[in-house]
Amino acid sequence: MGARTAGAAGAEAPTAGTDAFRSEDLPATERFDYWRELIGRTRDSEMTSVHAADFRADMRRLELGQATLLRSSFPPSRFRRSAGMVRRSDREVYHLTLVLDGALALTRETRGSGDRVTTFGAGRLYVVDSSHPYDVRGIGAARAGRGEPRIEALGIDFPAASLPLPPQRLREVMGRGFSRDEGTSALLADFLLGLDRQAALLGPAETPRLGTVVIDLVTAWLARELDTEAAVPDDARQRALVENVRTFVRRNLSDPGLTPTAIAAAHHVSVSYLHRLFTRHTQGRTLAGWIRAERLESARRDLADPALRTLPVHAVAARWGIPRASDFTRAFRAAYGQTPGEHRRQALAAAGRVA
């Protein structure tokens, strides 16, 4: 599917593989119907809202191969998938949702005990299965300067068949709430938030690979929760480990002691295995080379930041784990064809002209 914007002439077009919804780009009478059509492509449900007459919402839908990423901001609404809808059409899709603001109240049928209502507030993750009825009500959080309460959420939808875990065990996690700050769920949440931030920069060639990584991370997370890690295929386990390493590195770039040896110890693998694994799953890049590139790019951004213009060049290097100024200058010139000082002067001059 190509890029498509629900918008008036002159609206900014999204990147390939995305659909964007911005309520201000449409007449009030068309907003809710377009929203329902966009959501319904993967989350087929009956949608209602007391705000339907003037539905003020934003949503970006990014296709990632088998997976679909949904980033949404909307007023209180209801999403109901009935038993009849399941019988008429079920593609067996798992819906994972990370609540960012407000809350979502999920009602599910439970055997012998009637309906169960679970409310997920900001920072909580949950998964539901399209093969079972559900009823989700959005509970908006009030915002300063905006009268209408809002729900902010990030979701990922993917075929049930793509998750290589026993279906009977997966029922144990459906509808349960998990913190986005604990264990492998933190890695998954960080990756999804990073995808959302970078969505406008992603090209069609890389999105299928990212979808595979998302499913690998979901697999690793749920396998850990269910203690079924032995059921995860080797390739999926390896890809998830590589993404775990990437996240660990980005969080610790400022530490000059961040070496392959330290990273291997933190992940309970040998250095040689880590090197082989990273090179295999990053198109031949070495771990040490990737760490150096990440540090240089972070320093490059800081040098171009007008707010940091008074911070000495060697201090910028040190804050990204490169304590020796001479090493930094040499590596920076090799990577970018100019010294750190030259880059700073050029970038700040350009910023001044724009301002």
Residue with structure tokens 């007023």? 75
- Sketch the domain layout of the chain as residue ranges: 4-182, 295-354
Q: Does pTM surpass 0.95?
A: no
Fold of 4-182: Jelly Rolls (2.60.120)
Q: What is the pLDDT of residue 240?
A: 87
How far apart are alpha carbons 240 and 110 in whole angstroms?
A: 33
Q: Would you give the distance in Å from CA 238 to the centre of its chain?
A: 19
What does each of the 355 residues of the chain score in pLDDT, given as a tens digit? 333 333 333 333 334 456 778 888 899 999 999 998 888 888 889 999 999 998 999 998 889 989 999 999 999 999 999 989 998 888 899 999 999 999 999 998 766 566 789 999 999 999 999 999 999 999 988 766 666 789 999 999 999 999 989 888 998 999 999 999 887 888 899 999 988 988 877 877 888 888 998 999 999 999 989 988 888 888 888 988 898 898 889 889 999 999 999 999 988 899 999 999 999 888 889 999 999 999 999 999 999 999 999 999 999 999 999 999 999 999 999 999 999 999 999 999 987 765 4
How far apart are alpha carbons 218 and 126 in whole angstroms?
A: 11
Q: What is the pLDDT of residue 145?
A: 61
How far apart are alpha carbons 271 and 120 in whole angstroms?
A: 40
DSSP string over 197-238:
HHGGG--TTTHHHHHHHHHHHHHHHHHHHHT-GGGS-HHHHH
Q: What is the pLDDT of residue 157?
A: 94
Q: Are strands 4-6 and 18-22 parallel, antiparallel or unpaired?
A: parallel
Q: What is the pLDDT of residue 89?
A: 80
N- to C-terminal Cα separation, the chain? 38
- Supply 68's token pair: 């679909």
Q: Give the residue from 208, 219, 94 showing the smallest Cα distance to 158.
A: 94
